Structure 1
Amino acid sequence: MLKIVAAVAVLATSPAHAWGPTGHRIVGQIAADNISGKTQAEIAMILPKGETLAEVSTWPDEQRSDPDEYWQKTATPWHWVTVPPGKTWAEVGAPPEGDAMSALTAFTKTLRDPAASQEDRALALRFIVHIVGDLHQPLHNGRGDDRGGNNFKVEWFGKATNLHSVWDRELLAGNELSFTEYTDRLEAHLKPEQTIAWWTADPKVWMAESIALRDRIYPEEQGAQLGYSYQWTWRPAAEQRLTQAGVRLAAYLDMVFGE
């Protein structure tokens, strides 16, 4: 298995999975509905028959249960970036162990390498699909002081949790929709001019948007009681980020396979 970043020890306090399975699958499906025919063919030659972008979108999170050192240490930092308030990723850069942006760059190089094995290209593609979703989740663009909101405790409709989990799952779960139902709902409201406006393969744009949103979504204090008001305010933003992630994933894959 290709190991593109040196293994490092990582504390067991890594951020939770971004978006949860439903969110990641929505991103994968929206991308699948917007990629070019050439990109579809390229993907079909890389992934095992029958695997879809929606299916592989959750694979890097699922593999985190594997006890192998690659999944427990090496790949752990590839799900987020850390950018303190007032900074950009370009100013901060990746830490020595790597992050989502450095992993995206390395996996893109592998995907474009005609000498890479099919196994390595499939690994790279699965990670790219997942990382694009992660970078659109505001709390996977962490401030560096609270593990991407995992240490920011809140109550969600009376249940103790944290801000990261609210954005990963709770904002979407209240609709009780499957990922296909949610995708259909979001795509029904996706306007052609939005697809055009959002069509960018530049991760720095995605991260800048996520950071701007991140700096607005924190409650005033720890232990805040969150419910209908927070849901009403921020669920549309979460849904927009998912839709944008799907469009951007399509743009990114078209760029990778088009050059």
Structure 2
Amino acid sequence: MIPSNLSTTFLALLALLALLALPSAHAWGTLGHTTVALIAQNFLHPTTIAYTQRLLNDSTPTYLANHATWADSYRSTAEGAFTSVFHYIDALDAPPHSCEVIYERDCPEEGCIVSALANYTERVRDEELGWDDRNKALKMIIHFTGDIHQPLHTENTAVGGNRINTTFDGRAGNLHRVWDSSIIERLVGGFNMSFAQAWAFNLTTEIKHGEYRSRRRGWLKGMELEQPVGTAMVWANDANDDVCTTVLPGGMEDVEGKELGGTYYQSAVPAVKSEVAKAGYRLAAWLNLIATGQSRLPKGPKMHKRNPQPANVLPGQEFEWTAAMLEKRLAVRAARAEAELHGHEC
């Protein structure tokens, strides 16, 4: 019998131990999203810094990073459950033979990460909305800019890799988890704020002076504030290209049931680093556009012509659906629902 005066403490301790025993469900969120936000902070204009700190009510040194994973927590609440579908877009393509995101085909009427980025961009700019709504919109933008640069958040195959069983350094899991957390944790060595700050410093240095200096201008191609869907589509297709070249270059059979901690890991590292760096740099440019009307960074080329959708294009418009496509879309929704029911990160 537990004494009554100790029962509350005892139960709280049990709950804490249970939480500590669980695997990290949002390790990518903890490290990847935080790093993206920290990189972005290094490229923000002073006006943008003041703008974001006011909307976030946060003037600490990690003011963006502190809110980078809020959207993951929000979707787990009753109020925010509707946002679960906003964390990805299911490209109905055929890797490794063909990789491409098509907005009208791949973004269902309930929404996707592309339409969400467009919607929350409009909301954060709407000064008639209250502070709370604009605060949420900004936090969504910070998070979804990170998500859209994870290749398997732009891919339908095997529910974004959730149904491809793999091992990584002897640990059983699935391909989505490998890309969400396993690769990035091993590369950096941990997933708390200090690791994120160190990695953000290194990637920022590469953007300013190193490997990514010559690429950074191209990362801003197609970035137009009045074309948020088109802008997000450029980002989605950029990440989706990695599905064919790096994530599934030999198809599902090459990774199903395989250990991915060796040569696969080595080949994936450059893509992981590049996507995180791009996400941070693009987030900074996008927030600068929102706050000042200019990216405040070296300009990229004009709108990329692949799927340059205007902001008012809705799913299903100007796209010829077939019965087979519709059947596949319904199957995708069912698979996503089942995956989330079993705790997979989608």
The bucket for the TM-score relative to the shorter chain is 0.7 to 0.9
Partner of 2:196: 179
Is the 8 Å Cα contact of residues 19 and 134 (structure 1) preserved in structure 2? no
**Residue 64 of structure 2 aligns to which amino acid in structure 1?**
L
CA distance in structure 2 between the aligned counterparts of 1:93 and 1:150, rounded to whole angstroms: 18
Partner SS for 1:223: coil
Of 193, 215, 234, which residue of structure 1 is paired with 2:214? 193
Asked if 2 retains the 8 angstrom alpha-carbon contact of 1:77 and 1:98, the reply is: yes
Contact between 1:100 and 1:135, CA under 8 Å: does it hold in 2?
yes
Q: How many angstroms apart in 2 are the aligned matches of 1:91 and 1:65?
A: 27
Amino acid at match of 1:82: D
Q: What is the aligned partner in structure 2 of residue 27 from structure 1?
A: 36
Partners in 2 of 1:123 and 1:212 — Cα distance? 30
For 1:215, the equivalent position in structure 2 comes to: 244
TM-score by length of 1: 0.86
Greater relative contact order (CA < 8 Å, ≥ 6 in sequence): 1
Deviation of 1:195 after TM superposition, in Å, equals: 2.7
- The CA deviation at 1:20 is 2.7
Secondary structure in structure 2 of the residue aligned to 1:146: helix
TM-score by length of 2: 0.66
| 1:119 has 2:119 as partner | no
Which whole-Å CA distance do the structure 2 matches of 1:91 and 1:116 have between them? Answer: 29
> Could you tell me whether the CA contact under 8 Å between 1:24 and 1:58 is conserved in 2?
yes
AA of the residue aligned to 1:198: W
The residue aligned with 1:252 is 286
Indicate conservation of the 8 Å contact 2:92/2:106, yes or no. no
Indicate conservation of the 8 Å contact 1:57/1:126, yes or no: yes
Q: After superposing the two structures, state which structure 1 stretch, 211-220 or 87-96, moved more.
A: 87-96
Describe the SS at the equivalent of 1:82.
Answer: coil
Q: Match for 2:71: what amino acid?
A: P
Which residue in the other structure is 2:13 paired with? none
Q: Distance in 2 between matches of 1:116 and 1:171?
A: 40
- How does 1:162-173 map onto structure 2 within 5 Å? 162-173=174-185
- Residue 193 of structure 1, CA deviation: 3.0
Q: Select between 234-243 and 214-223 the one with higher mean Cα deviation.
A: 214-223
Q: Measure how far apart 1:196 and its partner are.
A: 2.4
Paired with 1:186 and 1:253, the residues of 2 have a C-alpha distance of 19
Matched AA of 2:121: T
Is residue 36 of structure 1 aligned with residue 45 of structure 2?
yes
The residue type paired with residue 43 of structure 1 is T
Q: Distance in 2 between matches of 1:163 and 1:184?
A: 28
Match of 1:226 among 260, 267, 280: 260
Report the Cα distance in structure 2 between the residues aligned to 1:97 and 1:131, rounded to whole angstroms. 16
Candidates 149, 152, 162, aligned match of 1:139: 152
Name the structure 2 match of 1:204: 233
Percent identity among equivalent residues?
A: 30
Q: Aligned residue for 1:79?
A: 87
> Aligned pair 1:161/2:173, yes or no?
yes
Pick from 97, 103, 107: which aligns with 1:90? Answer: 103
Moved more, 192-201 or 102-111: 192-201
Which among 50, 56, 59 is matched to residue 50 of structure 1?
A: 59
Residue of structure 2 equivalent to 1:11: none
1:160-201 Cα offsets, whole Å, 9 max, x none, are 100111111111111315101111122222234333232343
What stretches of structure 1 of length at least 5 have no aligned partner? 1-15
Mapped partners of 1:105, 1:48: distance in 2? 23
Residues 117 and 232 in structure 2, CA contact (< 8 A), matched pair in contact too: no
Q: How far apart, in 2, do the equivalents of 1:101 and 1:205 lie?
A: 10
Q: Which amino acid aligns with 2:38?
A: Q
CA RMSD of aligned residues (A): 1.8
Give the whole-Å Cα distance in 1 for the aligned partners of 2:264 and 2:124.
Answer: 40
* Alpha-carbon shift at residue 93 of structure 1 (Å): 4.6
Matches of 2:50 and 2:284 in 1, distance apart? 14
Task: Count matched residues.
Answer: 240
Amino acid of the residue matched to residue 55 of structure 2?
I
8 Å Cα contact 1:83-1:89 kept in structure 2: yes
